[in-house]
Amino acid sequence: MTISKKASIRTTAPQQDEAGRYAAARAAGRQEAASAAAREGRATRKQFEKAGAKAVQGHIKARGQRQQARRDSR
């Protein structure tokens, strides 16, 4: 029995190649958008971490001042 030549004769259609390139470009675009969103999220989180830490420190300082005022009033 001879080897079938169908598989070697077949070539991909031009539309199929174009569709493959389009899908790869779309996937790359999605990846880039996800990466950009993640970078932005990290920057925002870092910004609020700083603000949150300052807020906590402010509350601690205010509590200390209230305690000192109570001591001074005795």
Overall average pLDDT of the 20-43 stretch: 86
User: Tell me, what's the pLDDT at 65?
Assistant: 93
User: Tell me, what's the pLDDT at 70?
Assistant: 92
Q: What is the DSSP string of 19-51?
A: HHHHHHHHHHHHHHHHHHHHHHHHHHHHHHHHH
Residue 1 has pLDDT above 70, yes or no: no
The share of the chain scoring above pLDDT 70, in percent, equals: 81
pLDDT in tens, 59-70: 889 999 999 999
